[in-house]
Chain A
Amino acid sequence: MSTELPVLKAADFGSDQDVRWCPGCGDYSILAQMKKALAALGTPREKIAFISGIGCSSRFPYYMSTYGMHSIHGRAPAFATGLKSARPDLQVWVITGDGDALSIGGNHLMHAIRRNVNVNIVLFNNRIYGLTKGQYSPTSEIGKVTKSTPMGSVDNPLTPLSLAVGCGATFIARSIDTNVKHLAATLQQAAEHNGTSFVEVYQNCNIFNDGAWKYATDRATKQDNVLELEHGKPLIFGAESNKGIRLNGLNPEVVELGNGIAEDDLLFHDAKSPEPTLAYLLSRMHQPEFPEAIGVFRQIDAPIYDDQLNGQVAAAQEAAPDAQLNDLFNSGNTWEVE
């Protein structure tokens, strides 16, 4: 059966505005993969809205041909919550960065996730403040020397996915700007999930923090440093696919397959587990001790804020289909003045 609907290509999702990120910025790749993901999803442009905060990543909506709002620093999840509450028919994306989402906007991120608002949050993590020209961010490593930390930062960094687990996120994923196929697929999965989707993207800032994710992107090292999660599969990684993660008590450990260690001895990924314990454990695996996981950490079904909010309104209207304001005005004690 043929369809009358025009099929949109990735290019159809680009706006007429010149993209003004620095040449070589990881954001370009994320923009490109987003367009591909949207083309694959087939949602009409007018049904999509991108909401962003402030920062390099937050210029994103200007480069899309959908509806969009470049809002204020850290608050995009709150705008998105309002929009989605009023217009559950829209596909709403939040584009944010590590400073925007985790520093100034930490509160809103936390609450959007715990409410399970049906929006897709994409956090571009470059571990630096780019737009303000190179201060350390909440994900910068300890000892980071920047303009604002000449002797090295002393702040403990935050792991965005651990935070998402703590907030009870129903969809948690991680991808990498240069891993284009994985990224496009992850964004698509995020869009298809009902409830808050939280995606962290390792993104390179080639001006202020070049190579922050080198271990995860270099052809020579990435397979030893990155573990690609697959639901129901054992946690295996390495150029030779010969290393895995085994549970030792409550802690993960890296083991080499063979010499009595079989796949069945490894930890198996279960993204659908109702308990977030495994997702948390995976989020805590950091270089250099562990490979860092990418893919879908968690995907569960749970009641959705905007569904329930609108459901209450619908139920109230169904129960009182002829509700009249005049009845409200005249309710309770009234009296007549002749």
Chain B
Amino acid sequence: MASTVENISRATIRFAGDSGDGMQLTGTQLTNTSALAGNDVATFPDFPAEIRAPRGTRAGVSGFQVQFASEDIFTPGDQLDTLVVMNPAALVTNISDLRSGGLLIVNEDNFVDKEFRLAKLEANPLDDPDLDQYRLIKIKMTLLTRTAVEELELSTKIADRCKNFFAMGFVYWLYNRDLQPTLDFINAKFGGKPEIAAANEKALRAGYNYGETTEAAISTYQVEKAKLEPGRYKNIMGNQALAWGCIAAAKLSNKDLFLGSYPITPASDILHELSKHKKFGVRTFQAEDEIAAVCATIGAAFGGHMSITTSSGPGIALKGEAMGLGMILELPMLIINIQRGGPSTGLPTKTEQSDLLQVMYGRNGESPLPVIAARSPADCFETAIEAWRVAAKFMCPVMVLSDGYIANGAEPWRIPDFNALEKIEIVHPGERSEEDPPFLPYKRDEFLSRPWALPGTKGLEHRIGGLEKDHETGNVSYDPENHEFMCKIRQEKIDRIADFIPELEVDGEESGDLLVLSWGGTYGACTTAVTQCQAEGLSVSHAHLRFINPFPRNLETLLGNFKKVVIPELNLGQLQKIVSSTYGVQTEGIHKLKGRPFTVSELKEQFKELIG
């Protein structure tokens, strides 16, 4: 009996298993294959901070969730349509996210006493009557994988490592995915080890064939191509997009790129990515610590490079003093914070938006810096370019915010034509002779920016430093009037960036019952929840901030146009505090600190409650 193919508009699938089970790879492959099939995709990798947490334990469970759809999607999905679990710990930690009626695919071979003990279970969770609400498919994945690769005569240990490909193959069958992209991946990745490549291919095909031959009774699913804006697309992760955006920004401004960085989760992938692109004039410096990373960044900025540093909250805390120096030196650079769960070491591999106040205010003295936040993985590319445009024009460090969810998440990116991107004009002052009037390194232009004079330029020799400086010569000045003037003008310079950035756009009516004001990685969940509310006829509009400092100039007016304003944040109300102190406007907050992004349904429910 042939299985029937059911057309669906979207599917949310999660693979969950041990940290060493290859779940991230499995999820990434399904994502890429789905993207290549023309679906819109959004992902949510969720893994422990430990590289190999104790096997079989709940703490060691690693998951990868992907939603693919034939329509525009902005989130990796709330509830799962299909959950694949490789062991009992993965089952008990993930089952609550599976929708009633959803498919639960388990590796039956791992549902044995030893595994129950490791997962601190008294009995086989598959015997739990609550599972009746799901469609359970038990597969002896370990055994079937061993059989599939038998002829290669691999050790059991190596053979067992291929079982994620078996699980992948089964899901590919279930969702009518093309095996070819993953076969290509296997050949590229394991080409040097032909027996491993062969084993993975056999496991993948075995999983696919297993579905075809044994599970014919259930229907499989087809998700058609999404109607995305025409163009060439590529699946891209946030950190990769940010890295490429920085390379592009450097090239657009005719600069070489310098990165000073110290490894930290979840920012390190930017360092890895940029270190691969030396041919584009990229220099990466893995510093001895976070402080050296930012200081070297300032040094390279002084030298005339597009200079950036990347880190996460704890590292940004260490950079605080140097960021203040960058501010008072008035040199352009990007300080990129891939936020993670805090405080302190917090939740290194989980997402949060709790560093907003830190990047706004975490420096001594009056030390304003522009703050710009990316909203999605692909948006990181644009954000990096925009941030550098501002830094170079206004001669200041710019704080760039992303988060773990954006950094590790993936979505289709409409590939731009580099030659069509708007150039970033940077003019350095030229040589001067002794007859010219003396060079004034702190004399400002109409944007209140000082000249970016490069060492090596004859006649522009000057000294800069962390001491307060005279407003024109830049020489050390303890003059009280001058200090107050300098504090005010540095603030005014940042405030005036509002005239340079676009006004805030509203999705929905310009006035009404409820305005959802969001920033950063909550964009997708807010957009989807608002769209669904609007479809139900509710008076809800959405505005998403790219710039948090300064705010877009129409924000105040907009806030006044709605009966209520709600700010959903993965913190305890940090943007709320800033909005309140800036405009004296009371807003509602929706807060979540669970290391996970908002789900659409939880936002929607609360929006509805607020409208009453």
Contact = CB atoms under 8 A, between A and B. Distances in A.
Interface stretch (A140-148, A175-183, A193-201, A316-324): A316-324
B279 A320 contact: yes
A85 interface: yes
A111 interface: yes
A80 interface: yes
Contacts of A54: 466
Contact of A71 (B251, B466, B476): B466
A17 B295 contact: no
Contacts of B446: none
B299 A317 contact: no
Contacts of B329: 69
A44 interface: yes
Given A46-B459, A317-B278, A71 B36 contact: no
Interface residues of A, number: 62
A83 B302 contact: yes
Given A17-B475, A70-B464, A79-B299, A323 B279 contact: yes
B343 to A, nearest CB: 24
B224 to A, nearest CB: 12
A81 B307 contact: no
B296 A79 contact: yes
Contacts of B244: 325, 328-329
Interface stretch (B19-27, B213-221, B225-233, B532-540): B225-233
A329 B418 contact: yes
Interface stretch (A24-32, A227-235, A251-259, A307-315): A307-315
B36, B251, B297, B298 — most chain A CB neighbours (10 Å) = B298
A21 to B, nearest CB: 14
A51 B301 CA distance: 14
Interface stretch (B83-91, B104-112, B285-293): B285-293
A89 B303 CA distance: 10
A38 B145 CA distance: 72
Contacts of B365: none
A108 B289 CA distance: 9
Contact of B419 (A64, A70, A326): A326
A214 interface: no
Interface string A56-90: 00000110111111111001011111111111011
Nearest to A305: B285
Contacts of B416: 329
B462 interface: yes
B68 interface: no
A85 B283 CA distance: 8
B281 A309 contact: no
A82 B465 contact: no
Given A15-B463, A82-B260, A325-B251, A335 B36 contact: yes
A133 interface: no
Contacts of A47: 455-456
Contacts of B464: 68-70
A285 B301 CA distance: 42
A323 B456 CA distance: 28
A309 B283 contact: yes
B508 interface: no
Nearest to B293: A78
Interface residues of B, number: 74
B227, B291, B304 — most chain A CB neighbours (10 Å) = B291
A68 B235 CA distance: 45
Given A81-B292, A313-B283, A337-B233, A70 B303 contact: no
Given A75-B292, A82-B295, A90-B456, A316 B234 contact: no
A338 B229 CA distance: 8
A332 interface: yes
A49 interface: yes
Interface string B246-283: 01100100001010100000000000000001111111
Contacts of B48: none
Contacts of B292: 75, 77-78, 81, 107-108, 111
B283 A71 contact: no
Contacts of B418: 324-326, 329
Contacts of B327: none
B277 A83 contact: no
B455 A90 contact: yes
A3 interface: no
B568 interface: no
B455 A87 contact: yes
Contacts, number: 208
A69 B295 contact: no
Given A316-B279, A334-B232, A337-B38, A79 B298 contact: yes
B235 to A, nearest CB: 7
Contacts of A309: 283, 285
B305 interface: yes
Contacts of A284: none
Contacts of B304: 86-87
Contact of A337 (B229, B258, B279, B296): B229
Contacts of A272: none
A85 B258 contact: yes
A330 B356 CA distance: 34
A78 B181 contact: no
Nearest to B287: A78
Nearest to B230: A337
A45 B289 contact: no
Given A49-B455, A71-B325, A325-B248, A107 B288 contact: yes
Contacts of A44: 458
A85 B459 CA distance: 23
A4 interface: no
B191 to A, nearest CB: 16
Nearest to A58: B465
A75 B291 contact: yes
B472 interface: no
Interface string A108-151: 10110000000000000000000000000000000000000000
Contacts of A107: 288-289, 292
Contact of A46 (B227, B234, B277, B455): B455
B300 A72 contact: no
B231 to A, nearest CB: 6
A276 B298 CA distance: 33
Contact of A333 (B36, B296, B300): B36
B465 A70 contact: yes
Contacts of A87: 303-304, 455-456
B475 A72 contact: no
Contacts of B231: 336-337
B492 interface: no
Contacts of A66: 461
Contacts of A328: 244, 247, 277, 280
Contact of A65 (B235, B322, B461, B465): B461
Contacts of A75: 291-292, 295, 322
B92 interface: no
Contacts of B227: 337
B233 A335 contact: yes
B164 interface: no
B70 to A, nearest CB: 12
Given A87-B455, A90-B456, A70 B463 contact: yes
Contacts of A51: 299
Contacts of B233: 334-337
23 contacts: A17-B476, A49-B302, A51-B299, A54-B466, A67-B461, A71-B465, A72-B321, A72-B322, A75-B291, A78-B288, A78-B299, A82-B302, A83-B299, A83-B300, A86-B283, A86-B300, A86-B307, A111-B288, A313-B283, A320-B279, A329-B415, A335-B233, A337-B232
Interface of A: 15, 17, 44-47, 49-51, 54, 61-62, 64-72, 75, 77-87, 89-90, 107-108, 110-111, 309-310, 312-313, 315-317, 319-320, 323-326, 328-330, 332-338
- 9 nearest interchain CB pairs? A82-B299, A70-B465, A82-B296, A78-B295, A316-B278, A86-B303, A83-B299, A78-B292, A68-B463
